Structures are given as structure tokens and as C-alpha cells.
Amino acid sequence: MSTEPTPAGSELDFRQDVSRTDIDHPGPGFASHLARLAPSATPLFVVGSGLVVLSCFLSWSYDRSILGNVGIYGNPGSLQLIALVLGLFGILLALMRGPLRRFLPWVDRAAAARALGVGSLVFAVVIILAITLESSGLINVDPGGWLLLVASGLMALGGTVMQPTETEDPLRAHYGSTTEILVFVVLLAVGLAVVAYALDVKDGGSFVALLTGLAAVGAALGRGGFFQYLAVASARHRTVLTLGAVAVAFLFPFTQGGSDANMSIATQVLIFATTALGLNIVVGLAGLLDLGYIAFLGAGSYVGATMSYSAFATIDWKPPFLVVMVIGGMVSATLGLIIGSPTLRVSGDYLAIVTLAFGEIFRLAMNNLDGENGPDLTNGPNGVPAIPELEFGSFNFGDSHEVLGITLTRFANYYFLLLLFAAFVILIFIRLNNSRIGRGWVAIREDERAAEAMGVNVFGLKLFAFASGAFLAGLVGTIKAHHDVSVSPDQFVFLESAFLLAAIVLGGMGTVAGVFVGATILKLLPEKLRFLSDYRLLMFGALLVLMMRLRPEGIVPSRRRQLEFHADDEKLAEVVGEQHIEQEEARA
Amino acid sequence: MTDLLQQLVNGLTLGSLYALIAVGYTVVYGIVQLINFAHGEVFMIGAFGALATWTVLFNGTTSLWVLPFMILGAVAASVTVAILMERFAYRPLRHAPRLAPLITAIGVSVFLQEAVRLFYPGAKSKLPFPQIEVVTGPAVHIGDITVQRAAVFTVVSLAVCGALLWYFVNRTKLGRGMRAVSQDPDTARLMGINVNRIIVIAFAIGAVLAAVAGVAQGLQNSNIDFRIGFLAGLKAFTAAVLGGIGNLLGAVVGGLVLGVVEALATQFIPGQFGGSSWKDIWAFGLLIIVLVFRPQGLLGAQVVDRA
């Protein structure tokens, strides 16, 4: 800090302000008091983590019937295992300074510690709240629970005051291939275990606590730079990762032991996600605001229903299912062309309203074509119930069968079919994204007039996006008709379109993983948080508003979209640029 | 002939309701290029505001002098919601890509619907709306044509509101500011106009008219429900586009035209495709036709040129 007096009014006056840092010379104030604690940050953090681990072996709650039994001394219950992970992770982070530093020089210890500490504190508060609400009050919290609270508070304090240290760039971290593949395998296995566990959680309080714990771990990993490392590493081992993800998805039904409860959720998630992926082509890639997408799904469903062997089907021609699928897709695509042609010429906002109007037209038309108000094509408000199961040759999808000693029920059959179909849609999505068409869409999204001037066929590409999105929705719809057994106009209200859009927006536009994340969240949470079911839509609306305010690009966005939403953020542009270079080099 | 005149009258009634709500859409879109999806909910909340005022203050009375207070209650509720919406949901996103405010608007719309359904006592089913004397009751007969009293109220309130709006926009300073901002916000800012305040006023004006429409809806249908906002909002936006988005007179004209088309289609389209179950479809079909052949609407659009 400069102490020589500078002549008043000279350009050197600013020196005094610039050279001052709070770390070297803390001034008065709360931040300075915290900074004085800095040397004791790591001990605080370690003690906190250790105590968290200890608390897992104590009883948290006097009432043993709640939260999956966290009331036994010496035997950690389900949620206590999560706290165990948090505590062990904390100890691991503290050790980063010493022996582990050589292997992991790129981990931002202080930021990760801060995230982990705060996350653990939130977790402890949630646990205490859950115990209080689910049993008869605060009195039910045993000493173990209070220890958890205090310990996580220590972790939070230690993490907040920890001094940041020099770290290397996580984007440039590079280990041997075997090590990295091992890391991925472990990650996928852990992911599968967590998902299986999450699906089995019975009560709402446990589920919220589980989510909080996972969020704490995720935040700590993210702040530590782990996800940045993953982004580059996954570009190096793209094939392995894809195969691994496919294997995990394929193995999922075998972990269910024949129970239908989770499989029905899983099939619904898959249908929803595949439809959302089709919408992602329209909204995420081409940037067209489609609010009536559910109509295309509905068109496919009705085609599948009316051409099935249901007693209420209104069309006498019964072709094999693959033909029905294609017809369903073509009908939807034709509808897409009819709607798209007039409206894609005008501005994007009008498109939103027109597609919304068209969605309503579709629903009302399906409602009215019951013989009285129009030709009897769709059986009116009652829809087409009692649709029989799919049959491919001699394989009836309704039959259960045994594979390797594990029963696979009807839902598991549909799950595999939908998985195959989802793989097909993902393939189309990726190929479109990385093609000339995809680049044309990016150009249209960013500046339509410039794209037109550069020779991009704006109208043609928009129409293609619209029609192909509609085609995919039609295909899914035909399967959906058989899965849901009945089809009625009420299944295709505007709110469903809003949910589809929300899945893409929440999960992340322009990426495959993002859509699946969003679809899982939107379909799984209402199932697991049944105690909030009355407030479901209220929270959905609030969630949309908050997401747009805080993270409009979604949870797993494509980097390009992230840049589009944060056009003024230079630091982000730098990070993304570097990551892109690293990924390209890794791929080569 | 009387059939035609009767349907014209019905159409004008329906259309006045659409016109009142359409003004809110058009004025907001003209200035900030935002389709305020939640404007239909503002209309619904106006109706509930009137009902709440009556339930709390005047329960049991159906005399005419209660009506102005109900309208005030409706306006208070609508304007509050609209201003809060603008301040907390839309203003932070003013420079974001188009998708963000649209999604926010959908979120706000769902949130408001559910909030009313959950927190207004009894809102989970239809709630009866007080039938104020003079503006409801036995229908008026003019020759062979039957006119509902509430319909008269709707048309008269459109006329009054329209006149007040015209006076505000063309003869007051704030109105001049609004016209300036809708032509070029940046230059308006340079001229010393507080653009943020003008935008808030735009939202508020839309809310006032929507509130009056809410009261009219309640009087016409004798009950209200948390779902009335959705379809009415959609039709009103159709009306705004029909007349020319951003154009205040266009919103009124568009609303009336839409109402008349719906009424005539209901009555005069023969065979299975006539009747009330198809009228919404004709309305939306009209929107698509307008966008194909005359996207700037009947009276010409007036949107800020952001080039």
C-alpha cells in the first residue's frame, strides 16, 4: 500500500485504492472478522466433518418409525449414510492440501469446502425439520441430530472462511485412459444406485433430505471444478461413456425385481422425455416457440388408437403396428406442415400463440368428432378406451416373462421398446445437430436476417424443423396409445404442452442429457412429493419464473445456449471458449 | 333478418368483452414486445376482486350503488397483480432472449390460476357472482331482438372505457409519453420520458380494462371460476392480432369483429360443423387466416422497430 503523498489531482491518485486488498490489510467490518479466522479454517472444517461422521453412528430421532429409521445407535440408517458421505467428503477435501495434492492439483479446495459446508448445514436443517414435522415435535430430535446440526455449522463456518489457493486449470487435467474410464464406470454405477434408492424412498421428508444431500455433494463437486474436468474427459472417451449410459439404462429394469411401481414411472418418464426431445428439435435447435406440441403427440395417439383392435376404434383398416407408427408420424407431420406454412413466415411471438391456438383446435376437434357434431372419427369426449397390447408377431407386450431369474412385466417390455425408440430419436437429434441443417438453425436462431443474407433457406429450414418435430411426436404417440390403454381429448390440454416446454427449459435446451434430466424431474417429483400434491401446479409456475430469472439456460445447457442467455458475461465466454478448444483437441 | 340482427347483437356483446381484454395485450406488446400470457389471469383476478369486495363489504345487497365499489375492488386487485407481475417477473428479463419472458409469462399464468384456486375460499368450484339490479335481470326487448341487461352493461362499459382511454392517450401528458415510447423507447428516454414508469402505466391500463371485463363477465354468466382467464385471454390476443397488434383502436375493432364472427358462425354454418361446440375453432381459424393474408392486422400494427 502506497503511503507517499501524491500530488492532488495527478493521475497517480488511484494507486492507493488499487493496491489495497482485504486479505493483506483487513479493514473494519464483518468480512474482516471472518478473514481473521482464516488460519483456523481447515481445523474447523476437519473437526466439523469428523463430528458429522460421528453423528451418523448416533441416533438422530427418538421416533424410530420416521425417515427410514435414523434412531439406532451404531447402525447408520439410510439418510445417515448420506451424511456419512458428506462428512467423509469433507475430510477428503481437507486432506487435499497434503498427500492428495499431487494427484488432484486442479481441485479448488476452498470453493468446494464452502459449498459442501453450506450444503451440509442445509441438509441438517432439513433433517431437523423433517423429524419435527413427521413426528411429534422438536423434542423428538435426539442428541445425534443436534450434533449433526452443530457439526455442519462448523463445516459451513470453516468452509466460508477458508482461503482460496492457487489451482491449476481443471480443463487441462489428464490422467491415464484406464483411470479415467474407471472413474466413469464408478460414476455410472453410483448414479444407478442413487436412482434406484431414490425411487424406493417412501415418504416426502426423506426424499427432500435426499435431494438436499445430493445437491450439497453436487454443488461441492461443481465448485471444485470436477464437472469441468468431466466435460473435457468425456470428450476423450465419448464411445465408452455412451455405451456405459446405454448399459445402465438397459440394466435398470433388472434392478426392480419384478415390481411394477417404479417401472410404470420409468415408462412414463421415457415417453415424456422422448416427446420432449422431439420438441427440443423445434425449440432448442431451431428456436421456434411451439406451445401446441401436445397436439402432434395427440394426433399420433389417435392414429394408433383408431387403428388398433379396440372395440371403440372407428377405422376398419388394421395394418401391422410398424405401418401404424409410420402413418401416425406422417399424419402429425402433415399437421405440422399445415400449421407451419402460414405462420413460420411471421415473427416468433405469433408462432407461439398460433401453435397454442392450434393445440386447442386439435383438442376441441377431437372432442367434437363424435358423430353428432361431426363425423365419428374419434368417439368424442369418451375417447378410445380398451386399446389392446402391442403384438409383434407372437410376442405380446402384455405378457411377463423371465430373464436370468428376474421377472420382466408388461411395463418392462414397454420400457425396452421405448428405450430403443429413444435411442433412435437421440441419434436423429445428434445427427441433425451436427449437420449443415443444424448449423443453419443456429444461424437462424441468432440472427434471421443475417442468415437469409448468407444464403440459408430460412423458411425451408424452419418448416423442416417443425415437421420433423411433429413426425417424431407422432411416432411416440402411437406407442403411447398402447401404453396408456386409452386415449381421450383431456390428455392433450395446454398444460401438457407447458410441461413439455418446461422439461426442456428446466433441463437445458439443445442437449440430450438436459432433456432427460428435465423430464425425470418433472415426472418423478410429483410422484415422490405426494404430500405437496395440492400445491404441485403452484410450485410449477413459481419454478418456471425462478428458473428464467436465475438460470434461463437450464440445468445441463449446451454451451452455445448458455452464451446466448448470458450475452454480456465475458468471463463465461472465456471459460466456454477454453473448454471448447480442449474438447476439440480431445476429440481429435 | 331478425336472426341476423340478434346474432349481431350477441356478437357485439361477446366482442366487447374481448375488446376490453385485448387492449391490455396490445398495449403491452406494442411497447415491450412481450405477449403477456398472464393477462387472462389479470382479468380473472379482477372478477374475483369484485366478488371479494362484495362478499366482504356488501354481502347480501344487490342494489345498484354497490356496483361502482365492486368495480373499484376489481380494478385494485387487477392493477396490483399487474404491477407486481411487471416489477418482479418481467422487468428483470427485459433484455433477455425472447424465450425467457414467454416462459416466465406461462409460469406466472399457472401460478396465479393455482393461487386463486388454492387460497380463495371456495374457488375450487364455480362461485356465484352477485346479480346487481338494473344491470342484470329480465332481458330488454327491442322489437324482435332480445338483449340481456348485462350485455348492455358490457357494451356501455366498453364505450366509456374506450372514450376515457382515448382521452388519456391523446390529451394527457402521460398519454403522449406512451405514444412516444411505443414509437421509439430510446429516443423517448433521451427526451426525458421515464420509460420504466410508462411501461408500468401500460400494464396498469390493461389491468383496469381487464378488471371491468371481469365484472362484466361475472354479471353476464352469474358465476365465476378460476379457469375463465385462459380461453378469454387466448381469444383476446386473437382479437388484438386481428385488429393490428400495438394499435389501440385495432384492439377494440378486432375484438368486436371476432365476437361477431363467432356469433354468426355459430348460427349460420349449416350441418354438423355449426353450433357452439365449434365456435372456438372458428375463432382460432380466423386468427390463422389473418396471419396468412394480412399479418399486420385490419388496422395496421404499431410495434417498436428494434432494427
Cβ–Cβ gap A375/B92 under 8 Å: no
Residue B215 scores a pLDDT above 90: yes
Q: What percentage of chain B exceeds 70 in pLDDT?
A: 96
A552 vs B100, B115, B237: nearest CB = B100
pLDDT band with cut points at 50, 70 and 90 for residue A2: very low
CB contact, 8 Å: B275 with chain A?
yes
**Is the model's pLDDT at A41 over the cut of 80?**
no
Give the Cα separation of B103 and A44 in Å (integer).
44
Residue type, A291: L
Q: Which residue has the higher pLDDT, A206 or A361?
A: A361
Give the model's confidence band at B274: pLDDT under 50 very low, under 70 low, under 90 confident, else very high: low
Is there a contact between A498 and B110 if contact means CB atoms under 8 Å apart? yes
Confidence at B85, pLDDT banded by 50, 70, 90: very high
Q: What does the alpha-carbon distance between residue A1 and residue A20 come to, in Å, rounded to a whole number?
A: 6
Give the mean pLDDT of B103-108.
92
Radius of gyration of chain B (CA): 19
The mean per-residue pLDDT over the stretch A107-124 comes to 84
Nearest to B234 among A356, A495, A544 (CB): A356
Smallest Cα distance from A117 to chain B, Å: 31
* Predicted pLDDT of residue A71: 64
For residue A95, the model assigns a pLDDT of 75
CA distance B198 to chain A (A): 22
Which chain A residues are Cβ-neighbours of B100 within 8 angstroms? 548, 552, 565
Which of A425, A417, A105 lies closest to A266 in space, CA to CA?
A417
pLDDT digits (tens, 9 = 90+) for A352-372: 888 888 898 888 888 887 766
Nearest to B198 by CA among B171, B178, B173, B182: B178
Q: What is the mean pLDDT of residues A98-117?
A: 77
- The answer, for B237 touching chain A at a CB cutoff of 8 Å, is yes
How confident is residue A66, by pLDDT bands cut at 50, 70 and 90? Answer: low
Q: Which of A123-127, A189-193, B110-114 has the highest mean pLDDT?
A: B110-114
Q: Which chain B residue lies closest to A358 (C-alpha atoms)?
A: B284
What pLDDT score was predicted for residue A441? Answer: 92
The region of weakest confidence among A468-477, A536-545, A562-571, B54-63 is A562-571
Pick the most confident of A116-120, A538-542, A557-561, B32-36: A538-542
- The two beta strands, B140-142 and B127-128, are unpaired
- Computed over every residue of chain B, the mean pLDDT equals 88
Residues A265-322 pLDDT 10s: 888 999 999 999 999 999 888 888 889 899 999 999 998 888 887 777 777 777 888 8
- B252 with B111: CB under 8 angstroms? no
Closest Cβ opposite residue A548 in set B100, B285, B288: B100
- The answer for residues whose C-beta is within 8 angstroms of residue A359's C-beta and 6 or more apart is A291, A292, A293, A294, A295, A492, A494, A497
Residue B138 CA to residue B120 CA, distance in Å, equals 31
What pLDDT shows up at residue A13? 47
| Low-confidence winner among A46-50, A327-331, B221-225 (lowest mean pLDDT) | A46-50
Q: What is the pLDDT of residues A369-427, one digit of tens each?
A: 776 666 777 777 888 887 777 777 677 777 777 777 777 788 888 888 899 999 999 99
User: A167 pLDDT exceeds 70?
Assistant: yes
Residues of A in contact with B98 (CB under 8 A): 289, 348-349
CA A124/CA B259 separation, integer angstroms: 59
Number of A to B CB contacts under 8 A, please give it: 135
As a whole-number percent, the residues of chain A with pLDDT over 90 amount to 14
Chain A residue with Cα closest to B235: A357
> A5 falls in which pLDDT band (50, 70, 90)?
low
CA distance A478 to A329: 8
Q: What's the per-residue H, E or C state across chain B? A: CHHHHHHHHHHHHHHHHHHHHHHHHHHHHHHHCCCCCCHHHHHHHHHHHHHHHHHHHCCCCCCCCHHHHHHHHHHHHHHHHHHHHHHHHHHHHCCCCCHHHHHHHHHHHHHHHHHHHHHCCCCCCCEECCCCCCCCCCCEEECCEEECHHHHHHHHHHHHHHHHHHHHHHHCHHHHHHHHHHHCHHHHHHCCCCHHHHHHHHHHHHHHHHHHHHHHHHHHHCEECCCHHHHHHHHHHHHHHHHCCCCHHHHHHHHHHHHHHHHHHHHHCCHHHCCHHHHHHHHHHHHHHHHHHCCCCCCCCCCCCCC
Subunit contact A535:B118, Cβ cutoff 8 A = yes
Quick one: DSSP state of residue A558? -
Which of the two residues, B284 and A9, has the higher pLDDT score?
Answer: B284
Q: Residue A407 in 3-state DSSP?
A: strand
A543 touching B (Cβ < 8 Å): yes
pLDDT tier at B51, thresholds 50, 70, 90 = very high
Percent of chain B with pLDDT over 90: 46
SS3 assignment for A49-97 = HHHHHHHHCCCCECCCCCCCCCCCCCCCCHHHHHHHHHHHHHHHHHHCC
Nearest-angstrom CA–CA distance, A149 and A167: 31
A391-392/A395-396 β-pairing: antiparallel
Report pLDDT for A42: 79
Q: Is some CB atom of chain A closer than 8 A to the CB atom of B92?
A: yes
Would you place residue B77 in the very low, low, confident or very high pLDDT band (cuts 50, 70, 90)? Answer: very high
Q: What is the pLDDT of residue B100?
A: 86
CB B65 within 8 A of CB B255: no
Distance CA B104, CA B112 (A): 12
Q: Are B261 and B11 in contact (CB under 8 A)?
A: yes
B114-130: average pLDDT: 89
Percentage of residues in chain A having pLDDT higher than 70: 88
pLDDT for residue B52: 92
Provide DSSP, A90-122.
HHHHHHTTTGGGGT-TT--HHHHHHHHHHHHHH
The winner for highest mean pLDDT among A18-22, A70-74, A281-285, B78-82 is: B78-82
Q: Give me the half-sphere count of Cα atoms (radius 13 Å) on the Cβ side of residue A121.
A: 16
The Cα–Cα gap between A456 and A409 comes to 49
Q: Rounded CA gap, A121 and A15, in Å?
A: 41
| The pLDDT of residue A162 | 79
Rounded mean pLDDT, B104-108: 93
Q: Which residues of A touch B112 (CB under 8 A)?
A: 541
**pLDDT > 50? residue A17:** no
**Helix A536-550, helix B99-119: angle, nearest 10:** 150
Q: In this complex, do B238 and A357 lie within 8 Å of one another by their Cβ atoms?
A: yes
pLDDT value at position A1?
44
Question: Residue A213 to residues A120, A218, B168, B275: CA-CA distances in angstroms?
Answer: 7, 9, 57, 57
Rama region for B33: left / alpha / beta (φ>0; ψ in -120 to 50; rest): left
Give the three cell numbers for residue A100. 492428495
Q: How confident is the model at residue B306 (pLDDT cuts 50, 70, 90)?
A: low
Instruction: Kindly report, residue by residue over A527-561, the tens digit of the pLDDT.
Output: 777 777 788 889 899 989 998 888 888 888 777 77
Highest mean pLDDT among A129-143, A373-387, B208-222: B208-222
Confidence band (pLDDT; 50, 70, 90) for A157? confident
Q: What is the average pLDDT across B45-62?
A: 89
Residues A494-529 have pLDDT tens digits of 888 999 999 988 888 878 888 988 998 888 888 777
Round the average pLDDT of chain A to a whole number and report it: 80
Q: Residue A205: what pLDDT?
A: 77
Say if CB B200 and CB B214 are below 8 A apart.
no
Query: Which is nearest to A245 in space by CA: A237, B44, A350?
Result: A237
Is the pLDDT reported for residue A29 higher than 90? no
Q: Does the pLDDT value for residue A22 go beyond 60?
A: no
